[in-house]
Amino acid sequence: MKILITGGTGFIGVALTRSLIANGHAVSVLSRNPKSVTKLYGSEVHALGNLNDIKPEESYQAIINLAGAPIFDARWSSARKQIIRDSRINLTEQLIACIARMTIKPAVLISGSAIGYYGEQGNTILAEHSPKGEDFSAQLCYDWEHAAKQAQQFGVRVCLIRTGLVIAGDGGLLQRLLLPFRLGLGGRLGNGQQWMSWIHRDDWIAIALAMIDNSLMQGIYNATAPHPVNNNEFTQTLAQCLNRPTLLPLPAGFLKQILGEMSALVLGSQRVIPERLVTEKFNFRYPTLSEALNEALGKK
């Protein structure tokens, strides 16, 4: 199968691309820096620098849209928030325009989103039908999903994947936490009661592969493990996996001061369940946090 990926050089995208290659698919990766694609994958992947390079007669059976500027890399100034929006929504709109030009349309578009869609909702259990929040992240996800849905007018099956905190050993949230925790300096964030809905990266990839293969899958899916935890439990579980104490809780006021509006990403509470995946009997390889962390830390 020919598959086009945007965001194929990111934390999820690299692992997904390598999995697709291992499964015998022909993969093209769109990147502002095609040389970085070649450096990562060599000749196994076709590097694209611009969607306009795709000729109308070219076809892909699946498109996976993961592109977007990093959320955590800089404080959310007005300019930074615009970059975050443009890198997702504008790119998705360009992708829809590209699909419109294609003589043969893809069978499926899998487009990224996030559980930030739900905003701050405390202890409320959130499934795919739950209402959106009111903050920047919620509006970003809503607009991103709306842009991707436009592919439906061309007969393309659209899957929207609302991703939680992704756990793997070579990047993401866990990599940011490991040094302080290994030094015995880790601790809860704020009061520790905010819910953290997470997923192991291998399970995320399995969800995406299922979406490619299963023509009945469409619409919104929460890509989270079935057992969310609050921040205090997350902190304690990580400390136990590392055999380290938790000594230094970070007060909410301090986090708001240093992170500004971005503090909502670590203090906000989203108790998300993957209702549709559970109903459709998706088999999570890492359903519990301890299983996910132990694998990511090489303690299988």
User: Closest Cα to residue 231, out of 269, 279, 262?
Assistant: 269
User: Closest Cα to residue 19, out of 166, 176, 203, 187?
Assistant: 203
Predicted TM-score of the model (pTM)? 0.94
Percentage of the residues of the chain whose pLDDT score is greater than 70: 98
Segments making up each domain of the chain, as ranges: 2-296
Rounded mean pLDDT of 291-297? 96
pLDDT confidence band for 194 (50 / 70 / 90): very high
| 2-296: CATH topology | Rossmann fold (3.40.50)
Residue 98 has pLDDT above 70, yes or no: yes
More confident residue, 237 or 253: 237
Residue 270 has pLDDT above 90, yes or no: yes
pLDDT of residue 253: 81
Average pLDDT, the chain: 92
pLDDT confidence band for 250 (50 / 70 / 90): confident
pLDDT of residue 262: 63
Rounded mean pLDDT of 284-290? 97
pLDDT of residue 15: 96
Residue 141 has pLDDT above 80, yes or no: yes
Q: Write the pLDDT tens digit of every residue in 10-55.
A: 999 999 999 999 999 999 999 989 999 999 999 999 999 999 999 9
Amino acid identity of residue 93, one-letter, is: E
Helices assigned H by DSSP within the chain: 11-22, 34-41, 78-85, 91-101, 136-149, 172-182, 201-213, 231-242, 252-259, 264-267, 275-279, 289-296
More confident residue, 214 or 191: 214
